[in-house]
Amino acid sequence: MYDAFIKAAWDQSINEKFNFYQTSDTSCAEKYGLQSTPGISLIRNFDDSPVVYTGSASRSDIVSFAKKSSVPQLIVFTDDYIEPIFAENNPAVILMTE
């Protein structure tokens, strides 16, 4: 898992959006939602957090998880969300009002 995590941390599509930390402290892991180690937990300042990664030890799967988890469920649409929604082909429902 560590090798895949490090490779994901270097992926240009997510490495500027997140801070990446590694620890072997099991009490820290438990605090951030991990039931076992090794594991990956994504801490966000929106929606439910932390979000625990449960996929395979694969760079591409970790990057995909991070991208999907980086957009809140409900947003006020701004330029910041054009790429994560439309360029990544993520599903969206848009409500336009006056």
Q: Cα angle at 60 between 59 and 63, to 5 degrees?
A: 85
Beta bridge partners of 42: 51
CA pair distance 51, 14, nearest whole angstrom: 16
User: Which pLDDT band holds residue 36 (cuts at 50, 70, 90)?
Assistant: confident
Residue 30 binned pLDDT confidence (cut-offs 50, 70, 90): confident
* pTM (2 d.p.): 0.75
pLDDT digits (tens, 9 = 90+) for 39-98: 888 888 788 888 888 889 899 999 998 888 887 888 888 888 887 778 777 778 888 888
